[in-house]
């Protein structure tokens, strides 16, 4: 179950619309390394995770990513509010506008609609955690790239917050991988799939 | 910033501190220092949340939420004063 909180995780108050920026930031809503992909990835992978620490981390981070998706939606919404047709055309936002007006649609910066092909749920905890580590770094690079094009502090501030969360999540997933391997056969982590094969955990550990 | 925004920012600060520490606890379940910090921030957060909900409407829906307030209190993606 999920409970909604009627607030953003970090405030978004953008005074100046900027459709050019909105067109690139939308990629963190529904692009290849965006928040929707992140959330869907973690909340799907968690079901078959073999240890309680990993289930807890994926549940909590996957939930936080939903909050980040809401923040990106708020940023794009505020960046595209109250525009004239002339401003839309001048900023090159007309290609988005023609399909979605100023509605928030999950797509990449280049216009590719969101697809579940952006994520994997492999049913192998070692494999999935490596994907998660990579996903956090890819999102971090995307935020770094977005920041190259930002000159408005009202946009820079929440984007920096989101970038920082990628770094923290990377740290937590690293700890998850260590907790997992600490409980596997140290001579060969890959002898078994810890999500599928039984009895691959050390005797001292209960699932 | 309006009074509402200042109060909401304080709430967001403490609840974010708690959320970050709670995720840390997922991989460090017995960390006493973190548990103590969470308790401290929770004590700071609770009166602010109560004040906010009393003045500006519900932050979460519960069994006794007034639905009129839920609909009409500001939505988080709107800028202050806009509907």
pLDDT of residue A137: 98
Structure confidence by residue, pLDDT tens digits, A39-67:
999 999 999 999 999 999 999 999 999 99
Asked if A61 and B73 come within 8 Å (Cβ–Cβ), the reply is no
pLDDT of residue B82: 60
pLDDT band at A207 (very low <50, low <70, confident <90, very high): low
CA A75 to chain B, closest CA, distance in angstroms equals 8
Give yes or no for residue A182 having a pLDDT over 60.
yes
Structure confidence by residue, pLDDT tens digits, A8-37:
999 999 999 999 999 999 999 999 999 999
Contacts (Cβ under 8 Å, ≥6 apart) of A53: A176, A179, B26, B27, B29
CA A56 to chain B, closest CA, distance in angstroms equals 6
Helix (H, G, I), strand (E, B) or coil at A187: coil
pLDDT of residue B11: 98
C-beta of residue A127 within 8 angstroms of C-beta of residue A177: no
Q: Rounded distance, CA B70 to CA A41, Å?
A: 31
Q: Rounded distance, CA A139 to CA A39, Å?
A: 12
Structure confidence by residue, pLDDT tens digits, B56-72:
999 999 888 888 999 99
Q: Rounded distance, CA A204 to CA A99, Å?
A: 57
Q: What global pTM score does this model have?
A: 0.96
- Among residues A154, A22, A38, A35, which one has the least CA distance to residue A100? A22
Q: Rounded distance, CA A51 to CA A46, Å?
A: 10
- Sort B53 into a burial class: Cβ within 10 Å, 0-12 / 13-18 / 19+: middle
Question: Which residues on chain A place their C-beta less than 8 Å from a C-beta of chain B?
Answer: 3-15, 53, 56-57, 60-61, 64, 70, 73-74, 77-78, 81, 168, 172, 175-176, 179
C-beta of residue A200 within 8 angstroms of C-beta of residue A194: yes
C-beta of residue A183 within 8 angstroms of C-beta of residue A202: yes
Whole-number percent of chain A with pLDDT over 70:
98
Give yes or no for residue B1 having a pLDDT over 90.
no
Question: Phi-psi category of A92—alpha, beta or left, where left has phi over 0 and alpha has psi -120 to 50?
Answer: left
């Amino acid at each position: 179950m999920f409970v909604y909180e009627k607030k953003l995780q970090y405030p978004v108050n953008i005074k100046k619309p900027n459709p050019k920026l909105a067109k690139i930031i939308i990629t963190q809503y529904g692009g290849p390394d965006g928040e929707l992909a992140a959330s869907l990835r973690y909340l799907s992978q968690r079901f078959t995770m073999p240890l309680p620490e990993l289930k807890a981390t994926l549940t909590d981070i996957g939930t936080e990513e939903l909050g980040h998706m809401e923040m990106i939606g708020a940023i794009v919404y505020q960046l595209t509010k109250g525009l004239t047709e002339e401003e839309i055309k001048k900023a090159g936002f007309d290609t988005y506008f023609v399909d979605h007006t100023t509605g928030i649609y999950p797509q990449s910066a280049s216009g590719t609609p969101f697809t579940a092909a952006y994520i994997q749920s492999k049913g192998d905890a070692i494999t999935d955690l490596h994907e998660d580590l990579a996903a956090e770094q890819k999102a971090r690079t995307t935020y770094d790239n977005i920041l190259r094009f930002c000159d408005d502090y009202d946009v820079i501030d929440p984007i920096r917050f989101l970038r920082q969360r990628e770094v923290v999540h990377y740290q937590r997933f690293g700890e998850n991988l260590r907790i997992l391997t600490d409980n596997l056969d140290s001579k060969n982590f890959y002898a078994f799939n810890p999500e599928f094969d039984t009895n691959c955990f050390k005797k001292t550990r209960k699932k | 910033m309006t009074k509402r925004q200042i109060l909401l920012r304080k709430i967001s600060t403490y609840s974010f501190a708690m959320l970050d520490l709670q995720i840390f606890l997922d991989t460090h379940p017995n960390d006493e220092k973190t548990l103590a910090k969470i308790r401290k921030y929770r004590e700071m957060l609770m009166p602010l949340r109560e004040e906010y909900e009393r003045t500006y409407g519900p932050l979460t829906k519960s069994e006794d939420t007034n639905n009129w307030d839920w609909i009409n209190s500001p939505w988080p993606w709107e800028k202050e004063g806009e509907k």
